[in-house]
Structure 1
Amino acid sequence: MRIAIIGAGIAGVTTAFELSARGHQVTVFDRCGSVAAEGSFANAGIVAPALALPWTMPGWPSLGAGRSFGWQWQRRRAAQDKNAAAAHENLFKLAQFSLQRLQTLRRSLQLDFERTEGQLVLLRTERELKQIQPGLDRLAQFGLSAKLLSAEECRAVEPGLNPDQALHGGIHLAQAEVGNCRQFAHQIRVAAQRLGTQFRFHTTVRSISPGTPAQLVHEYTPPTEQPGPSTRYAESKDAADTHPAPHGPQQDSFDAIVVCAGTGAAALLQPLGIKLALATLHGSSLTAPLRQLEAHPDLGPRAGLLDQATGISISRIGQRIRLCQSGEFDASPRIRPAAMTQMHKVLDDWFPGAMQAGQLQQWRGSQVHLPDGLPLLGQSGRSGVWLNLAHEPSAMLSWTLACGAASVISSQISGDQAGADIPATTGLELSRLAV
């Protein structure tokens, strides 16, 4: 089959690989100049099935501040739907499958990207533990180990934790990883190209038309100027390795079109009568090299942490440290000084002096999600058009579902969704929204 993928973020590039591995002829279109150039560029790099649980569970875990009361009300109302429990269980199973698929790809393709294992949720007070207890009970129902640690045990897992910072305890998630999402995306892109995938960078998809075959209108849109360090993202100059593109709108036909366009999805789908209540949430991160002191080998984190009180994550990315705050409705592309201040404070609370601030990289990216907090995965109800969208409501967790969702939708398009290892996606399809 000839298949087009719109979007070369972590969802799009993994979907391209999975479809190419099944023998399809795949072309990926992206408005940027490289893979993982927007919402996947400098995210927290967390792959943690436990954190895929809906945040409407009391206190488990907070994904950051900035959500409006109206949006919270919509999410809580969605969680009360009679089918919500089954959908959330399928989401959780998909997240578990996604982690397993990531690990399989890493081994089979011999990928060498920056990564560590484990996630620690830090609890400053006993009250925070009581707040997340319903979430812990839910994890136990799903059969996932989430070990409650004392403050001393937390410091044994992460010896660099500030001994002077108040710490009640923590939750250790052994079934989790943290790593360089962008680096992984580039390596999967190379693997997909070896299988024949073509990438059309700096190419904007103007419209899609359902049918057999489906139609796609795209246009080469090279940037007028290169983004500087103060912009919301940076990108590699990868467009030169694709085929030269003619100017003006071009139309192509495909047996299937997979929309992985993130923030660009609504404009493409609305003309098809698919009107989604997609909200755009913005996440910010700061990244800098870890300070290296021979007398203090554990000055920074060993793996991934989440500060439950603030919803800010702390990730070890190779020899760098990254803090990420997400879930802001503020539409400004600029990083808020208050967000930077809070991330610096959290770092100073837990790992004072760990970052070389003189080489600091700031980033702001966008994610889309729906009021029920669930992704859109599967058929669109329009012939030849498929959806792989809204994986997570934050820049912190956008990697968690990517590998699993890519495998699932590739199986569905290929007609072999009955595979024993493919999890059910009931409740995650567009049909639940009745659009």
Structure 2
Amino acid sequence: MDIAIVGAGIAGIATAYELAQDGHRVTVYEQHNAAAEGASFANAGWLTPTLLQPWSTPGWTLPLRQQLRGKHALLEAPGPWLGHNWRWLRRWKAAERQCQTQGLHNPAASALEQLSAFSQVLRHDISAAHELSTESHQSHLVLLRSTQDMQSMQPLLQALGTLDVRAQLLPADAVRAVEPGLSPEAPLAGALHLPEGETINCRQWTQQLRQLALQRGVQLQSNATVRSVQSVGKQVHLLLEGDSAAHLHDAVVVCTGASPALLDCSGLRLPLMPVHGYTISAPLRDPCYAPQAAALDWAQQLVISRIGQRLRISGGAELGTAPDAYNQDTLARMYRTLNDWYPGAAQLSSPQVQIWRGTRGTLPDGLPLLGRTTQSGIWFNLGHGAHGAALANGCARILADQIAGRDVPTEVQALSPLRFEP
């Protein structure tokens, strides 16, 4: 088949690679100048377990009401109470209540964790086969500032056990033994230790996978903004900005949620919300005072990770249309949290400090859109929220199997775009 892919982030490049592996002719259309210039550019790199990512799935991190509370709220949802952003948040809140009702038997959480594990195996196999390096690190800590936070971890610890995720709740002295770089003055009650947690450089992995895809015949058209996708008979017409003639393909896989107009091609009303977040990356000053891999400040919902020879702090959540100006309150909170836990670990006055804001498409149930749409030849692999890097390879392989008509796990039905069919 001749298949087009819209978007050259980690989801699009992984999909191109897997489809090329199956022998398809693949063309990737990317609006930026190169691959991994959008949400895959400078994210936290936190992969496993997926369910502890800030803003992962409803009901798994801090309650929504707690993130919205006070003038120092962790989440910003501008607009009127009855506006689009707040209607979407009410759907997220409904999913949060359902998650809490289901408890240890949450199918969404199970599907995500299984897909993440499958994706991890594929990623490791590809890396080993081609001797690739992704600046990966192992071991995660969820840093807990109070005894109340420690107590709130008990149900989560039990749930992670049912999902076969190794986790242990450690007191403060044991945490400092695992992570000697933590400030002795930090307000630490304890931490959830995840020894098998993994962090990678997502942009580097995307670029390496892109090179492998190009070697398999994938064509990449950069600076190509897709204006519309339309199913016509047995073909799909793809129209680029500046072109009068459509590009014809047997199928199109949309792997970007950056253009709401493209979602209309599905024939579905999809509640995809752009969620904007920030990262601050700085050169390491002294590795001894930096995290061994990654640490999540539970109260602040900020991830501090080591990416090669840089330290990166990630977080913040702004719903809807983002203003041109960066949110200085969020950036100040990020700098403050970094200095709380790892003072002096990064060269924050260096000219190499990079402040970045990325946008990720998120659904109110926290699950991605993976599979066919109501329109012939149009497929979706998008809306991964905070899980793009963690799920990319697994989602790509499953989508390739779906296009080929092969059997896929029944749990994948929970990710179908048709779940939003009227």
Confirm or deny a common fold (TM above 0.5): yes
Correspondence 1:262-301 to 2 at 5 A: 262-264=257-259, 266-292=260-286, 297-301=287-291
Higher share of residues assigned helix: 2
Alignment partners' CA distance in 2, 1:333 and 1:105: 39
> Secondary structure of the equivalent of 1:44?
coil
1:92 aligns with 2:113: yes
Counterpart among 185, 192, 207 of residue 171 in structure 1: 192
* TM-score, scaled relative to structure 2: 0.88
Name the aligned partner's letter for residue 260 of structure 1.
Answer: C
1:76 aligns with 2:93: yes
Q: Which digits, 9 at most, give the CA deviation of each residue in 1:18-71, with x for residues without a partner?
A: 111111111000110111101111100111134266241363899982154654
Q: Which digits, 9 at most, give the CA deviation of each residue in 1:241-268, with x for residues without a partner?
A: xxxxxx633312222110101222x311
Correspondence 1:216-255 to 2 at 5 A: 216-219=237-240, 248-255=243-250
Alignment partners' CA distance in 2, 1:140 and 1:399: 23
> Secondary structure of the equivalent of 1:427?
helix
> Secondary structure of the equivalent of 1:401?
helix
> Secondary structure of the equivalent of 1:426?
helix
> Secondary structure of the equivalent of 2:388?
coil
Corresponding position of 2:254: 259
> Secondary structure of the equivalent of 1:18?
helix
1:66 aligns with 2:75: yes
Identity within the alignment, %: 37
> Secondary structure of the equivalent of 1:32?
coil
1:103 aligns with 2:94: no
> Secondary structure of the equivalent of 2:75?
coil
Corresponding position of 1:328: 318
Correspondence 1:8-407 to 2 at 5 A: 8-49=8-49, 50-51=51-52, 54-57=57-60, 59=62, 65-68=74-77, 70-79=87-96, 80=98, 85-219=106-240, 248-264=243-259, 266-292=260-286, 297-329=287-319, 331-357=322-348, 358=350, 359-392=352-385, 394=386, 397-407=387-397
Alignment partners' CA distance in 2, 1:262 and 1:16: 17
Q: Tell me if the contact between 1:98 and 1:402 (Cα under 8 Å) persists in the aligned partners.
A: yes
1:432 aligns with 2:422: no
Please report how far the alpha carbon of residue 199 of structure 1 lies from its aligned counterpart in structure 2 after TM superposition.
Answer: 0.2
Distance 1:152 1:60, change over 3 A: farther
Corresponding position of 1:227: none
Please report how far the alpha carbon of residue 210 of structure 1 lies from its aligned counterpart in structure 2 after TM superposition.
Answer: 1.7
Q: How many residues align?
A: 398
Alignment partners' CA distance in 1, 2:190 and 2:232: 56
Distance 1:54 1:271, change over 3 A: closer
Distance 1:195 1:60, change over 3 A: farther
Alignment partners' CA distance in 1, 2:41 and 2:227: 24
Please report how far the alpha carbon of residue 423 of structure 1 lies from its aligned counterpart in structure 2 after TM superposition.
Answer: 7.1
Corresponding position of 1:236: none
Alignment partners' CA distance in 2, 1:112 and 1:325: 25
Q: Tell me if the contact between 1:67 and 1:328 (Cα under 8 Å) persists in the aligned partners.
A: yes
Please report how far the alpha carbon of residue 3 of structure 1 lies from its aligned counterpart in structure 2 after TM superposition.
Answer: 0.7
> Secondary structure of the equivalent of 1:210?
strand
Unpaired stretches in structure 2, ≥5 consecutive residues: 68-72, 78-85
Name the aligned partner's letter for residue 133 of structure 2.
Answer: D
Unpaired stretches in structure 1, ≥5 consecutive residues: 221-246
The root-mean-square deviation of aligned C-alpha atoms, in Å, is 2.3
Please report how far the alpha carbon of residue 15 of structure 1 lies from its aligned counterpart in structure 2 after TM superposition.
Answer: 0.7
Q: Which digits, 9 at most, give the CA deviation of each residue in 1:232-288, with x for residues without a partner?
A: xxxxxxxxxxxxxxx633312222110101222x31122553221111110111101
Please report how far the alpha carbon of residue 343 of structure 1 lies from its aligned counterpart in structure 2 after TM superposition.
Answer: 0.8
Q: Tell me if the contact between 1:93 and 1:423 (Cα under 8 Å) persists in the aligned partners.
A: no
Runs (4+) of structure 1 exceeding 6 A deviation are 60-64, 81-84
Alignment partners' CA distance in 2, 1:58 and 1:350: 20
Corresponding position of 1:223: none
Q: Tell me if the contact between 1:90 and 1:426 (Cα under 8 Å) persists in the aligned partners.
A: no
